[in-house]
Amino acid sequence: MRHVTRMSLTASIGLMAMFAVDFVDMAFIAMLGNDALAAAVGYAGTLLFFTNSINIGLSIAAGSLTARELGAGRPDLARHYATSVAAIGVLTGLVMPVLVLAWLEQILTLLGAQGEVLRLAMRYVWIILPTMWVMALAMTGMAVLRAHGDARRSMVATLYGGGLNAVLDPLLIFGLGLGLDGAAIASVLARACMLAAAFWPAIRVHRGFMRPGFGQIAGDLRTIRSIAVPAVLTNIATPVGNAIVLREIAQFGTEAVAGMAVIGRLMPVAFSVIFALSGAIGPIIGQNFGAGQFARVRQAFAAGITFTAVYVLLMAAVLFALRAPIADLFSATGETRRLIYLFCGPLALAYFFNGAIFVENASFNNLGRPVYSTWINWGRHTLGTWPLAVLGGYLAGAPGVLAGQAAGGMIFAGLGALLVHRVLRGLTRPAQVDAFAPQNRLHALLGRRGW
């Protein structure tokens, strides 16, 4: 518990700095007095979350493989895998923006953006999305640092990025009068800062990377794919679920979308420790799994769930006490204020189940069962979101949509707990894992040639 707490709290300081800057971004944008700007950030943020989820999935692969090989006493192989994942991240970060930008208007329209909101959202995405490869390298560097147990330097990288963003935001938004463009430019410069602050110590202090080669990357692709593909699919599920919720919320007007945008910035600030826990507990489980210390693997999982419960309970109480000042900060009225109050009440308590899914997925990814996390996340963000959100919207309007989404989290957190119990009960020495091997149930269901 002490190790889980230290790693989580240390990592969360940097994450909280980043998310706090996004939160302040939204507060500054709200000061401009135009609901369309806040709604545009909400739509753009959903799309950018999708592309960033690919980076998160790749960083999970880097952290999991590096931690496992370090735990097994193979630092050269750990360096090998980290370099290959970084190269794949750069390639993906160059190709994906081209594809998304080519269909940007259609994608944002599908999410529900129209008119002035659509134009503003497109402009915001055009500035930030081309730097996807920068974020891919930064997140891989931070994952490698955590895999080496260097949570402090990983935290410092995010602090530098968040600090630069915080300084540039008011300067560009108000000082130079750039408005929404200023917020986007500040985010781009912050990404570059995080890249430098994460990659330099990963190379110089831990020798976490090596000179890449095409043959090396091709040779590592099978092993990386076994974790990266399910992890990417797992993380893509979250923005898909958010897009479904946003689409349902959009029918209740711009105020409701603006409320969702505020919640989208407030939630990661309040629960950054839980976000950090999912990244911090993975290397702990991975190293002990690689070393064959199965009792410690089980202890780490139990500590993660306990930590989640205690933190969510405390943060829910804080949010409930501050719900009025938070709403006033954004000059929220009508439906926007109603949704903020709902989040700062019962929905904050329901976040325990999201946190439990984070810990379960981190366990699956580091115990050679990444496909389980894919199924849990996709189930939670499709079957556990769409029907319940539609039903909630029909019964209670925009608040009902959010309540339906929370109910789905409860169901799939329980299913994930059953799967984790099964995996922990049957732990054996780790071996090379191919998530698409013939004996795998995913292959049996979908077939090697089918999707």
Each residue of 162-174: pLDDT tens digit? 888 888 888 988 8
Tell me the C-alpha distance between 319 and 343, whole Å.
Answer: 8
pLDDT band at 432 (very low <50, low <70, confident <90, very high): very low
Percent of the chain with pLDDT strictly greater than 70: 91
pLDDT value, residue 196: 92
Q: How far is CA 308 from CA 5, 225, 301, 349, 355, in A?
A: 10, 30, 11, 11, 6
Question: What does the pLDDT average to over 208-234?
Answer: 76
pLDDT value, residue 445: 52
Tens-digit pLDDT profile for residues 48-90: 878 887 888 788 888 888 888 887 788 888 888 888 888 888 9
Rg of the chain in Å (alpha carbons): 21
Tens-digit pLDDT profile for residues 179-211: 888 888 988 998 899 899 988 888 888 887 878
**What letter would DSSP give residue 252?**
T
Q: Is the model more confident about 432 or about 76?
A: 76
Q: Is the model more confident about 412 or about 262?
A: 412
Q: Is the model more confident about 39 or about 347?
A: 347
Tell me the C-alpha distance between 268 and 278, whole Å.
Answer: 13
**What letter would DSSP give residue 173?**
I
pLDDT value, residue 17: 66
Q: Considering Cα of 191, then 157, then 46, then 283, what sign does the dihedral take?
A: positive
